[in-house]
């Protein structure tokens, strides 16, 4: 029988189940899909360093305490460089000198040192950069390609004045280092990284059609919400304006819209919410310009229950939409409770 190495069950003294560190680092790098960055381990609970409790805790994300140049402390955290994970489980205290004039910058950085075979070392160090606000670490080797290389990652930048006071700080993200939130990935997660993409087509892209198995998918964009007016007002005659509102986006001739009316009650008869679709086109016979008709059907129990229709036309001019009474379909008291508020919950602009 050939013995294979089993990770997390090794015995260094017996040389049993010791995983090749380079092999394991490459496996971790492939799983994460990101070469270098700070690992987001804020899920650790303050009372459980093993992470069994998933309470977010920023004290596990390299917390910095820096009151002055002689009192700089960096706390717990994790980071990775090409799959080689660096972990700190204690407070590390650093000291910096003060400038004689003006201010100076010091960089706190992490270092992976694989230069000594069998004795790899991880450190938190401090670099005095003088008056320079930017710093490029001298060692940023690809540790997979160069297994005896070094890698340095900026963690914080501190600006110190002549009194030793810390007058400004920047963290790793502000210095161009990634925070890796998805610690483990499969080789197929790239297909689902952007949930808005289907079969290689971005559903948010302008001017693209989206078809799935022969079905054309409609994209809706909300351009108006919660528009209330009295559509049944007996005092409003044909051709008069009932109400106006402002759209978040212009409508043009040929655009298709969807209007969602809020449900309400007329007389003692219940009514369902109505959804009406219409196409913007020329208004003929009573008004110039473009618009659409989206009459609201409603229930009435006068002389029996039945559907009746109001006669609204919606005129659009840029981002202004106006509801106009086009016909006087109310006859005497045929429509009961005619002065009820009508609410258009949503108007959507449709595209395919």
Q: Are residues 48 and 173 in the same domain?
A: yes
Q: Is the pLDDT of residue 39 over 90?
A: no
Cα angle: 269, vertex 270, 273; to 5 degrees:
140
Q: Are residues 46 and 110 in the same domain?
A: yes
SS3 of the chain: the string is CCCCCCCCCCECCCCECCCCHHHHHHHHHHHHCCCEEEECCCCCECCECCCCCCCCCHHHCCCEEEEECCEEEECCEEEEECCEEEEECCCEEECCCCCCCCEEEEEEEEEEECCCCCCCEEEEEEEECCCCCCCCCCCECCCCCCCCCEEEEEEEEEEEECCCEEEEEEECHHHCCCEECCCCCCCCHHHHCCCCEECCEECCCCCCCCEECCEECCEEEEEEEEEEECCCCCCCCCCCEEEEEECCCCCCCCCEEEEEECCCCECCECCCCCEEEEECEECCCCCCCEEEECCCEEEECCCCCEEEECCEEEEEECCEEEEEECCCCCCCCCCCCCCCCEEEEEEEEEEC
- Cα distance from N-terminal residue to C-terminal residue, the chain: 62
**pLDDT score at 304:** 39
On whether residue 198 sits in a domain, the answer given is no
- Judged by average pLDDT, the poorest of 143-147, 185-189, 231-235, 299-303 is 299-303
Q: How far is CA 40 from CA 82, 83, 149, 183, in A?
A: 16, 15, 25, 8
Q: Report the C-alpha gap between 136 and 131 in whole angstroms.
A: 14
Q: Which residue, 157, 180, 203, sits at the end of a domain?
A: 180
Range of the domain at 98: 21-180
Q: Are residues 44 and 111 in the same domain?
A: yes
Q: What is the pLDDT of residues 247-278, one digit of tens each?
A: 999 999 999 999 888 765 444 445 555 788 88
Q: Which residues of 297-325 are buried (b: 16+ CB within 10 A; e: fewer)?
A: ebbbeeeeeeebebbbbbbbeeeebbbbb
**pLDDT score at 334:** 37
**pLDDT score at 77:** 87
On whether residue 206 sits in a domain, the answer given is no
Quote the mean pLDDT of the chain: 75
pTM, whole model, 2 decimals? Answer: 0.50
134 — pLDDT class (breaks 50, 70, 90): very high
Size of the chain, expressed as the number of residues it contains: 352
On whether residue 336 sits in a domain, the answer given is yes
Number of domains in the chain: 2
What are 281's two structure tokens?
Answer: 């086109």
Residue whose structure tokens are 């290689």: 200
**pLDDT score at 237:** 63
Q: Are residues 235 and 303 in the same domain?
A: yes
Q: Report the C-alpha gap between 153 and 77 in whole angstroms.
A: 13
Q: Report the C-alpha gap between 22 and 38 in whole angstroms.
A: 20
On whether residue 204 sits in a domain, the answer given is no
Q: What is the pLDDT of residues 167-213, one digit of tens each?
A: 999 999 999 999 887 544 444 444 444 444 444 445 444 445 566 66
Q: Are residues 231 and 101 in the same domain?
A: no
Q: Choose the most confident range, by mean pLDDT, from 53-67, 203-217, 311-325.
A: 311-325
Helix (H, G, I), strand (E, B) or coil at 331: coil
Q: Is the pLDDT of residue 344 over 70?
A: yes
Residues 227-247: what's their mean pLDDT? 73
On whether residue 193 sits in a domain, the answer given is no
Q: Are residues 61 and 172 in the same domain?
A: yes
More confident of the two residues 154 and 48 = 154
**pLDDT score at 166:** 94
Q: Are residues 234 and 346 in the same domain?
A: yes
Q: What is the pLDDT of residues 91-124, one digit of tens each?
A: 899 999 999 999 999 999 999 998 887 778 889 9
**pLDDT score at 101:** 93
Q: Are residues 176 and 263 in the same domain?
A: no
Residues 8-12: what's their mean pLDDT? 52
Q: Are residues 231 and 330 in the same domain?
A: yes
- Judged by average pLDDT, the poorest of 61-70, 78-87, 294-303, 336-345 is 294-303
**pLDDT score at 342:** 72
**pLDDT score at 2:** 41
Q: Are residues 161 and 43 in the same domain?
A: yes
Q: Is the pLDDT of residue 337 over 50?
A: no
SS3 of 206-225: the string is CCCCCEECCEECCEEEEEEE
For residue 21, give the H/E element and its range.
helix 21-32
CATH, residue 80:
2.60.520.10
More confident of the two residues 268 and 284 = 284
Q: Which residue, 160, 180, 200, sits at the end of a domain?
A: 180
On whether residue 9 sits in a domain, the answer given is no
On whether residue 202 sits in a domain, the answer given is no
Q: Which residue, 180, 203, 235, sits at the end of a domain?
A: 180
Q: Are residues 148 and 35 in the same domain?
A: yes
On whether residue 194 sits in a domain, the answer given is no
Instruction: In the chain, count H helices and then E strands.
Output: 1, 26
Residues 294-321: what's their mean pLDDT? 61
Q: Are residues 157 and 26 in the same domain?
A: yes
pLDDT above 90 covers a percentage of the chain that reads: 31
């Amino acid at each position: 029988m050939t013995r294979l190495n089993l990770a997390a069950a090794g015995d260094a003294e017996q040389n049993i189940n010791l995983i090749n560190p380079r092999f394991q680092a490459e496996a971790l790098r492939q799983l994460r899909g990101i070469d270098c960055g700070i690992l987001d381990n804020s899920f650790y609970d303050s009372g459980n360093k093993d992470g069994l409790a998933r309470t977010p805790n920023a004290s596990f994300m390299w917390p910095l305490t820096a009151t002055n140049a002689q009192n700089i402390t960096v706390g717990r955290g994790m980071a990775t460089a090409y799959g080689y994970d660096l972990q700190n489980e204690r407070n590390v205290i650093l000291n910096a000198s003060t400038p004689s004039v003006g201010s100076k910058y010091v960089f706190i950085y992490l270092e992976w040192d694989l230069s000594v075979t069998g004795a790899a070392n991880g450190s938190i160090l401090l670099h005095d950069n003088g008056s320079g606000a930017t710093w490029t670490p001298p060692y940023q080797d690809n540790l997979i390609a160069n297994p005896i290389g070094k890698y340095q990652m900026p963690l914080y930048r501190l600006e110190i004045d002549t009194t030793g006071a810390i007058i400004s700080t920047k963290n790793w993200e502000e210095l161009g280092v990634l925070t890796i939130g998805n610690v483990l990935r499969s080789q197929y997660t790239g297909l689902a990284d952007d949930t808005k993409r289907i079969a290689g087509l971005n559903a948010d892209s302008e001017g693209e059609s989206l078809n799935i198995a022969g079905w054309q998918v409609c994209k809706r964009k909300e351009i108006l919400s919660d528009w209330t007016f009295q559509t049944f007002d007996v005092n409003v005659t044909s051709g008069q304006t009932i109400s106006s509102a402002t759209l978040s986006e212009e409508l043009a001739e040929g655009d298709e819209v969807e209007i969602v009316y809020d449900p309400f009650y007329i007389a003692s008869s219940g009514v369902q919410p109505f959804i009406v679709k219409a196409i913007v086109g020329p208004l003929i016979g009573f008004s110039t310009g473009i618009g659409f008709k989206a009459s609201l059907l409603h229930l009435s129990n006068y002389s029996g229950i039945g559907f009746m229709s109001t006669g609204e036309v919606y005129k659009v001019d840029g981002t202004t939409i106006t509801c106009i009474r086009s016909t006087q379909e109310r006859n005497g008291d045929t429509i009961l409770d005619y002065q009820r508020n009508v609410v258009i919950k949503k108007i959507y602009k449709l595209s395919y």
